[in-house]
Structure 1
């Protein structure tokens, strides 16, 4: 039996989750460097949670400067079994208006500056990633939203741009014409690394704006984004709190095998693996390292 510990990655609006008790900030060291911040440990009902401010308290890190490997490794080290990301996004569709919550099921990675894998020279691994989010977590998020009477749209493609600048009009029109649903700056390589760490992952995308393609919104206004974020904060807190409260005590197997993604992923022969890299992979890949 593996005890469920729910990891939440998000912004400052989620610090004060309804029903959170025994809360304390805990520092977690990692061999990949410093995490974005300390982790807020606590419980909602009988479910243990670990909340990580993705940008650090006070929003200290831009999307390109976040140490995604440290964040995921650190959560793995404290026993997190499942991760839910709560992220602000722009929308490419009229029907996904500001204020809408979307449960993402696909990603397009347009980032260029970020370390996107724990593996590399000395220990090569290839994990399946055709379905990057866990349908089991999406089911539970959808049920939590319905219980709290919070409208959500299930399914959507999130294109992750590098940032920190917002899109050009040409980029916005390009992504819209491709049929993508929302745009953000933070979920890649976060989702990839969660898969390598065998942690089922889901994203709640909170639409804050229409990006710059919309004729009535010819540029993204940060003040307007923050205004919508604040308006959404209560809904997001209630959604995550209900999701955590109703989560099973024993980690449920992921329907697509995200929690066993490394089962056949390691390619480098055991006698050719770099001991220094193996030492850093103890938390992420310890389950399969002896094979």
Structure 2
């Protein structure tokens, strides 16, 4: 099966995020857990030992389906908080997560509008 991953899509997402002055990383390792829930401290530390940069609850199903359908994809992770491994941080609340998520959603809308525009022209 051909991998539909498209390096130009990743590069365009990255360059556009930089242009919009968004905090961005060119690549990373994502671990997907079943949610919605918070990780335990043991899980969080285990995921970090495994090399995970981001813990999420939704990327894998979309990536697998896109791959099976031969659709190029690029993942955009919208981090909302440090996981519980960061012991010097106070535990995060749902209100704090929702506030960061809203800001992230606005940023991703800007990003996607700009990126789609580059492929449409």
TM-score, reference length from structure 1: 0.39
Instruction: Name the structure 1 match of 2:48.
Output: 176
Structure whose residues are more often helix by fraction: 2
Deviations 1:49-98 (A, max 9, x none): xxxxxxxxxxxxxxxxxxxxxxxxxxxxxxxxxxxxxxxxxxxxxxxxxx
Helix, strand or coil at the partner of 1:142: helix
Match of 1:192 among 45, 60, 64: 64
- Name the larger-Rg structure: 1
Cα separation, 2, equivalents of 1:169 and 1:242: 38
TM-score, reference length from structure 2: 0.87
Cα RMSD, aligned residues only: 1.9
Cα separation, 1, equivalents of 2:107 and 2:35: 27
Pairs within 5 Å for 1:50-65: none
Residue 128 of structure 1 and its aligned partner are, at CA, apart by 5.3
CA distance 1:177–1:195, change in 2 (3 Å)? same
Instruction: Name the structure 1 match of 2:11.
Output: 139
Cα separation, 1, equivalents of 2:41 and 2:23: 29
Cα separation, 1, equivalents of 2:14 and 2:107: 13
Aligned residues: 121
Match of 2:22 among 145, 150, 167: 150
Instruction: Name the structure 2 match of 1:163.
Output: 35
CA distance 1:128–1:217, change in 2 (3 Å)? farther
* Larger RCO of the pair (alpha carbons < 8 Å, separation 6+): 2
Is the Cα contact below 8 Å between 2:2 and 2:70 reproduced in 1? no
Cα separation, 2, equivalents of 1:185 and 1:133: 21
Instruction: Name the structure 2 match of 1:229.
Output: 101
Where does structure 1 lack aligned partners over 5 or more consecutive residues?
Answer: 1-126, 250-291
Is the Cα contact below 8 Å between 1:159 and 1:182 reproduced in 2? yes
Residue 201 of structure 1 and its aligned partner are, at CA, apart by 0.8
Deviations 1:149-201 (A, max 9, x none): 32311110110001222211110010011221000000112101101101011
Superposed structure 1 runs of 4+ greater than 3 Å apart: 217-220
Match of 1:246 among 114, 118, 121: 118
Where does structure 2 lack aligned partners over 5 or more consecutive residues?
Answer: none
Structure whose residues are more often strand by fraction: 1
